[in-house]
Every structure is written in C-alpha cells, then in structure tokens.
Structure 1
Amino acid sequence: MGMIMADAVRNSTTYFWGQRTSTIDWCEENYVVSHYIAEFWNSITNGVFVALAFLGMYTTAKHRQGWRVFACYAALMFVGCGSACFHATLKYTTQLLDELPMLYLCALVLYALIEIDKNTKYGAAVPLALIAFQATITCIYVFWIQNPIFHQVAFALTAFGGVGFGLKRLREMQLSARTWRILSRLHLLGHVGMWGGFLAWNIDNIFCHRLRSYRSHVGAPLDVFFQLHGWWHVLTAYGSTYLLLWVHFIRLARLGHDHLFTIKYALGFLPYVAMDTPKKVE
C-alpha cells in the first residue's frame, strides 16, 4: 500500500527534522515544497480540522451547551494538530499524536451519547471503563503491536460503537419532522465525507507511484489535486464535523432545545450549530 515503509530517496538526515523515525511514510514526496515541513500538503490540510473544531467549540461555549459536546470538538482539534505535527516531522512520537487522539475522540463521542442528559446517570462507571479500554489499546499499540492496522481496527470499533449508540438514542425520542430532516442530512453528509475520504486514502495508497508521476508531469500548483492524502484530511474533517454536529443536535433534541437551533455556515462553507432566526412574515 502507499504507506511507504522505506522512502530512502527522501529520508536523509540532512533534512530539517532529520531522518524519519515514523513507521509510515505517506505518498507525498518529502521536503519538496518546504525545507521545514516534511509533507507540506499533508500537513497544512489539517487546518480544516482546526477551523471546524474551533467553530464548534466557540458556538458550544457561546450557547452554554455542555462540556461533553465541547470536549468532542476540542478532541477533533487535537486530532488535526497532532496530524499536522506528524506529517510535518515524520517522527514516531508525532505519529502517535496523529493516531491516538482519533481513538480518544471516538471515546468522548461515545461518552457524550451514553450520558446524553443534562445530569449524568452512571457516575464514574462509564468514564472509568472508557479510560481503561483506551489505555489498554494505547499500551498495546505503543509497546506491543506497532502496526497501523491494529490502530485502524480499534478506531473503527470505537467509531461504530458511537454511531450505533447514536441511532439507539434516536429510536428513544419522538422528533419533529424538521429535526429529522436536519439529523438525516447531517448523518448523510458525515458518511459522504468519511467514505469519500476513505476512497481518496486508498487510491493514494494503492496508486502512489502513478500519482507521483502525475504530480511530476503537471507540476505546481496543479499537482495539489493529486495529493489525495491531503484530500483525505479535508473530506474526513468535514465528515467528522458533520457527525459531531449530528451528535450535538441529538443532545439538543434530547434536552428539548432542538426547535431553537439550526445548522448554518460561516463564510459559506464552515458548518456549525446556531440559533434559528425566525423568518419574517410579510
């Protein structure tokens, strides 16, 4: 796969961050755009995570919608920052900053859906169980099975648990037609982003050498269209955000506040939960 395990041509100790120590080297050629950033496009595309997460944190705090939802957006920002550091340096320590926060984000989402009411129901039992599970996965990954596939399987299991629990919550509630439309659209867009990103990720992995040839042929700036791992970041940033907005809106519905809120777009392309402004009647 395109997770280049030994890109010896561009793994020199003379580069800014020195020799690569990560177990993965992605398809983007190292230190081509900048002397200071190993994988330039793979690094800066994580800014989409940061922008979307910051907007979610801001609006959650503004409307005082609970620390659990705020923590989910904060974890999404941590994912983007960790991924940017990893692709900028290609070091094993920053690789862990990229991969492990994804697991913790999913665990926080699962917790927010389990403890969806204003007051917690299970006390310390749920967070302690989730912390123990994530700590076990972390230790296994860091000290024993240092294989990206193990991380991917653990991430998928946690993510599916969150989606499944979210659907369970939906079945428990009587929702208005308007809220159903909003939630259905968020869920659809979330999956389009995630699966679209997964497709780009796999194409980048499988056809890496061909993509490198295309990039060499077209040159800058058109070569950015063939940086598919970067596009994976953009698509999954949107997919993750839409799914977090889905969780956010489920909680609003659970608390009976969904009729007061809607989904709006900052700058026309950054989605967030906002107060619904009633339309004027002429």
Structure 2
Amino acid sequence: MPPGLHRLPAKASLSTKSIYYGLGLVGLCSSLFHGLLSYHAHMADDTSMIVATSIVCYRAMTYSETGYHTVKDEQMVHELSFVSLIVVVAIKTRSLIKLRVHNPKDKEMLHRAVIFGAGCFVFGYLLWQLDSIFCAQLTILKRTVGLPWGILLELHGWWHILTAIGVHTFMIMVDRLTRDEVQFASDDSRLFGAKSTKKEE
C-alpha cells in the first residue's frame, strides 16, 4: 500500500485515495515489466504512468469549488482533454499516411477520410455546444413540434452519432496504417471512396 494512504483520514473518499492508488498501480506495472521484460508489460508500465499523472493533474485542477470550478468549470477540463486527443490522433494519422502510403490514389483516399472524420467531430462538437447554450429554447421548440420531428432537434444525440462516425473512420485508418503490411480491404472502399489494390510496405 502506498505510504501516503496511511496519513489520510479514516473516512477519506475514493477520490482522495485515488492519487495514491495511481502510484501503487505504477509500482505494480513497473515491477511486472522489469520482471517479465515483455511488450505488453512494457505498455502496461507506460500506461500506468500516464494514468497516475492524469489523476494528480485532475485533482490539482479541480479541487476547489470556489477556485477552478468557478472560473473555468470542470466540464472544460473534459472537453479540452477530449478535443486535444482528437487533434493529436488526426495529426499523427496524417503523418502515418505520408510515411507509409506511397500510392497517390491511396493517399488521396485517406486524406479525404481524415477530412471526413475530423469534419464529423467538428460539426458534432458544434451541435453539442449549441445544445448546451440554447438548451431551454430547444426544449420548448421540441415540445412544440412534437414527435417525430423533435428528434431532429436532439443536438446532443447528433453529437454522439457524429462522434461515433468520426471515431470509426479514424479507427479503420489507424488500424490499417499501423499493420506490418499496409493494405485496404473492400469494406474500406465503401467508406473512403475509390481504392487502389496495390499493397504498401
């Protein structure tokens, strides 16, 4: 048990204990890695450090209702983290396309897919923000028009749908681009457009 836990009050919340559990997780995963020296143990070790650091960062930024919550709002932490991850994935995907794909038609197909996936995220995020800002007005309007047309005004729902489409698009691209041999299946062509059958190393 991490030593910091012994200094906590007996009724300390799970949130309070979590930063020490994160440290314990790092110790466990690090021991597994250095004991087994396997790839999966290595990934567990690296991931545990990210998780533990994220917990500490989150606690440091959101501990006070009169401080950070009042000025920025905890929701912003979640949104900025999510958007940042999307940007990183999009940039890295474009980098992988340049590095691993040499056929011009395949590059064009994948660049269109990046634009499509990112566009889904951006448009969905815009709808989410509009839903948050105009929630009261949209609720009144939905009750006025009734079902089934009111479903079209469920902007938060459309955000989830568009996010799922964007995630699926990038999942396919990253999956194909990080394999030992880069190639595109017929199922991909239905989503990305015309494809080349040439395999890339």
Structure 1 158/135 Cα, relative in aligned 2: closer, same or farther at 3 Å?
Answer: farther
* Counterpart position of 2:13: none
Query: Are residues 1:157 and 2:74 paired?
Result: no
Query: Are residues 1:186 and 2:103 paired?
Result: no
Contact 1:186/1:245 (8 A) holds in 2: no
* Counterpart position of 1:119: none
> What percent of counterpart residues are identical?
23
Query: Are residues 1:256 and 2:173 paired?
Result: no
Larger radius of gyration: 2
Query: 1:223-234 counterparts in 2 under 5 A?
Result: 223-234=150-161
Amino acid at match of 1:191: A
Query: 1:1-282 counterparts in 2 under 5 A?
Result: 125=42, 127-138=44-55, 140-141=57-58, 145=62, 147-252=74-179, 255-258=180-183, 263-265=188-190, 271=191
Q: How much does 1:139 deviate?
A: 5.4
* Counterpart position of 2:3: none
- Unaligned stretches of 5+ residues in structure 2: 1-38, 64-73
- Unaligned stretches of 5+ residues in structure 1: 1-121, 266-270, 278-282
SS in 1 for 2:188: strand
CA RMSD, 1 decimal: 3.2
SS in 1 for 2:102: coil
SS in 1 for 2:62: coil
* Counterpart position of 1:110: none
- Runs of 4+ in structure 1 deviating by more than 3 angstroms, as ranges, are 122-127, 138-144, 259-262
Distance in 2 between the 1:134 and 1:181 partners? 36
Distance in 1 between the 2:92 and 2:43 partners? 14
Normalized per residue, the structure richer in strand is: 1
Contact 1:190/1:238 (8 A) holds in 2: yes
How many residue pairs get aligned? The number is 147
TM-score by length of 2: 0.60
Distance in 2 between the 1:168 and 1:259 partners? 18
Distance in 2 between the 1:197 and 1:211 partners? 16
Distance in 2 between the 1:260 and 1:227 partners? 35
Q: How much does 1:142 deviate?
A: 6.8
Q: How much does 1:242 deviate?
A: 0.9
SS in 2 for 1:175: coil
TM-score by length of 1: 0.45
Distance in 1 between the 2:166 and 2:185 partners? 24
Contact 2:100/2:177 (8 A) holds in 1: no
Amino acid at match of 1:129: D
Normalized per residue, the structure richer in helix is: 2
Distance in 2 between the 1:164 and 1:124 partners? 27
SS in 2 for 1:258: coil
Q: How much does 1:244 deviate?
A: 1.3
